[in-house]
Amino acid sequence: MRQIEQPRILDERYNPSITDNSMYILRFRYLLKREDGTLETPVEMFRRVAWNIAEAERIFAPDISPEAVLAYAESFFTIMTDFRFLPNAPALLGAGGPLQQLAACYVLPIEDSIESIFETLRMAAIVHSRGSGTGFNLSALRPRGTPIATGGVSTGPVSFMRIFDMETEIIKQGGTGWGANMGMLRCDHPDIQEFVTAKSTGAGLQNFNISVGVTDEFMRLSRTGGTFALVDPQSGRKAGTVNPRELLDRIALEAWKTGDPGLLFLDRIERDNPTPQLGRIEVTNPCGEAPLLPYEGCWLGGINVAAHLDSRKRAVDWESLRQTCSIACRMMDNALEVSSYPLPQLKEATQRTRKLGIGVMGFADMLVQMNIPYGSPESESLARDLMSFIQESLEETSVMLGRERGVFPAYPDSRLAAEGAKGRRNATVTANAPNSTIAAIAGCSSGIEPIFSIAYSKQLRNGDTLNEIHPEFLRMARSLGFYSERLVDRVLNEGSIQSISEVPQAVKDVFLTAHDISAGGHIRIQSAFQDHIELAVAKTINLANHARPEDVKSAFLLAGESGCKGITCFRDGCRDRAFLDPGHKTARSGLSC
């Protein structure tokens, strides 16, 4: 596309407040080098992204005036520099850059043949080299020991996962810095036991999150007892049985030990498939928030809800939130259009449904400022109200874009059309990613997670360490008169304030960390958001070190009963290394979102 001159007004009108930690992250990965070798400034980065994505307006309206393109660019620039909304991290790096690759992840299918497996491996290498992650459903692969055409026997899905893991590691070492995969196997696959124990038995797979795809019937039998048929994916015939209660016990034990596997609730996911005429949902992206069809990608972003709070009234500024939703939806539909695609199949599948996955970040910060404890009935109610409003606002804009630009191509035969829904530009508009990197850039809490720690040391990939203390806690400590350097040191050491006597109880009630909240409290918040999200929610259910495998199993059962589409449990200390210490020890490796 021809670039029209970029007015300097986009640089001069705004001066975003960038913390030292945010600046470190931006320098480390997202600020591009100028021709003289120096790095662009954060404002220049946001300008680059805003202008590049606004250029899509000229695709849809070739006669649009330069002034109109500028107006859209300014609106995108403003919501980013005000930290009201940020697109997923690959868009910050890719928009207007050499790769122009703006999507975080894609799903690649694997069929049961050497040709298909290694063709998918080739595609995965290309996708990873462009900075995106991948999701794989390995359930079509024949089980270990099955005869193959050469006269030998199959080595099974886990062995091929190791090959994909090695490819990912090599590509990462080549300089992309990203490389994450989701590996999923159905609960009725004959190799399910080997898959479940893959992380703890030395299979490696450090570049994989793994999840067991479970059905409603499997979960029912895990509660009531009985046997469950295993099915040979090649012949479709019964290949043995498994006791669901015992298998779920084993999954829980492995998750207790390593943080993997998680669960994906396949029937729940499929019930929300907007385009069943195109096939069943294949698997999710690496962190689990985007259940996708083969070859699809999803355009993710996070609305900082804490930036939409009227601090004087301690209430949500709904009109400001509506405006942000409208701009964000248009911005991400544009991003989908101007992005490059590593493979032609990815472009075709993605543009057929045009799925967006806009969610939130800063939820825990909002709760703190509203004096609402995370996991309380009030927090659940707020979660539902927020996400319902965001879903409705995004859908309104997608309908408007559908009239302006045309509905997504698969709409006429979609479930939405069958249900009489208005024509939309996008098959989905909501998902909730971890949003960890963009939250760090915006200086807010990640996704819908609670505060991981009031104070913590952040270990970056290059080995450096950054210390952070929650700014609202510091403000409150000073205003209420209990601040001291000794207090700061103790909070840095402990992460939580619950055992610190000088902190007032009212403050303790609001500043709950991930390990101060019960598994049920975590799941209730996830479920509340999921009620109004079309795709899925990426969330980690953090458990204390002293939690038992039975606690993990109880969380799995509650998540299934609560309408969640997936669940990940992570017990503090079950892995040697963690991104945050002591508070945030995430079970899921993944892309920076």
Q: Which residues pair with 309 in a beta bridge?
A: 316
Which tokens sit at 331?
A: 């911005």
Catalytic residue among 57, 167, 254, 289: 289
In angstroms, the CA 286 to CA 135 distance is 6
Q: Which residues pair with 284 in a beta bridge?
A: 291
Strand arrangement of the beta sheet that strand 105-107 belongs to: 105-107, 133-137, 181-186, 208-214, 262-265, 566-571, 540-543
Determine how β-strand 580-581 pairs with β-strand 566-571: unpaired
Determine how β-strand 291-292 pairs with β-strand 283-284: antiparallel
Catalytic residue among 187, 287, 298, 564: 287
List, as own/partner pairs, every contact residues 460-468 make where C-beta atoms lie below 8 angstroms and the sequence separation is at least 24, other chains included: 460/24, 460/25, 460/28, 461/28, 461/177, 462/28, 464/24, 466/20, 466/21, 466/24, 467/492, 468/21
Is 545 among the residues known to form the active site? no
In angstroms, the CA 56 to CA 61 distance is 9
Is 285 among the residues known to form the active site? yes
Is 21 among the residues known to form the active site? no
In angstroms, the CA 566 to CA 556 distance is 9
Kind and range of the H or E element at 18? none
Catalytic residue among 88, 181, 209, 285: 285
Phi, psi of 395 (to 5 degrees): -65, -40
Count of alpha carbons within 13 angstroms of residue 80, beta-carbon side: 29
- CA separation, residue 185 to residues 140, 191, 195 (Å): 9, 9, 7
- The catalytic residue positions are 285, 287, 289
